[in-house]
Amino acid sequence: MGNQVERLTHLSYAEVPTAEPAGTEPGPRIGVSYIFSVDEDDDLADEPVAGETGSGRGPAAGGERECDRNKEEEDGGDTYDLLNEVECSVYYRDQCIYEKRRRAGRSAKGDGQELLTPQPAEILLGRCQPGDLVEFVAAGQCPHWAVYVGDFQVVHLHQAEIRNDFLTDASQGRRGRLVSQRYRFKALPADAVVRAALQQVGVRGAQLRWSSSECFAAWCRCGRREFKVGGELRIGKQPYRLQLHLSEHSSHTLEFQSLHDLILEKRRNDQIGKVALIRELAAHLHGDEQQRTDHRHPC
């Protein structure tokens, strides 16, 4: 099955050293490196992106802006299959910075990071506090993230514009859940999160520095430039890993140069779902095996 992945055990996150880029334009598209692993137990995590030498699959063209633009019509929340959701972990080197797992209803650390069943927007309103991050989900769509700012309203990136809408309007019929703790960076105070979100309302088009609603919402909560387009310099290294948990004992790992690129790929996987992802990876493995066979036995 390829290279074995070293077990990652450190789950605290220290400040990631990043350099301010010379400009704000996104860098060139990158490829993805594949690392296959078979977990001996349920305890593993993942990591990031790859450089130009990667094989096969890169971030989906157009990123999440396209995902948010397409298929925004109302979709019955009852059709969303939680079992088809892609479970994953994100690592910067050996430190977990993001996790979405289902382990007997709770994550490995028991910190409440369970895959909660999405709720109708009206019910979700009763749970939200200013500064919370909300994720709206529907079958076949990229998750849509928003920052709850109080008074039944959210600020979110929608159709290439930062908007302030009522939560029920922003949901567009999708069900939602709180995801404030998904990213393990230190969060800003709630009032600072709300202020950061409201200050961006009206920003649109070429002024935007986020490629997805998730990047924008996470930036508001954590204030880290890694969530911005061009927020990290690409220097050839691939310190981030995205580990896709396909089953209890099986995982697939991708490496990335930046967190921004990793998020684009993670969201593409969220959109297609676990069943389609496993099918895609199986086809990729079969193609690699066929190529090796053809190389060993030339005509």
Task: Please say if the pLDDT value at position 188 is more than 60.
Answer: yes
DSSP strand pairing (87-92 vs 175-178): unpaired
Task: Please say if the pLDDT value at position 105 is more than 50.
Answer: no
Q: Quick one: average pLDDT of 227-235? A: 90
Quick one: pLDDT band at residue 71, thresholds 50, 70, 90? very low
Task: Please say if the pLDDT value at position 282 is more than 80.
Answer: yes
> Which residue in 276, 281, 266, 268 sits closest to 90, CA to CA?
266
Q: pLDDT value at position 85?
A: 95
Which CATH number fits the domain 33-296, given the four candidates 2.60.40.10, 3.90.1720.10, 3.30.390.50, 1.20.120.10?
3.90.1720.10
Cα 160 to chain centroid, rounded = 18
Q: pLDDT value at position 136?
A: 98
Domain-by-domain residue ranges, the chain? Answer: 33-296
- For 111-119, which contacts have Cβ atoms below 8 Å and span 24 or more sequence positions? 111/181, 112/181, 113/181, 113/182, 115/82, 115/85, 115/87, 116/177, 116/178, 117/82, 117/177, 118/77, 118/80, 118/82, 118/174, 118/175, 118/176, 118/177, 119/175, 119/176, 119/177
Quick one: pLDDT band at residue 114, thresholds 50, 70, 90? low
Q: pLDDT value at position 103?
A: 63
Task: Please say if the pLDDT value at position 230 is more than 60.
Answer: yes
Q: pLDDT value at position 288?
A: 57
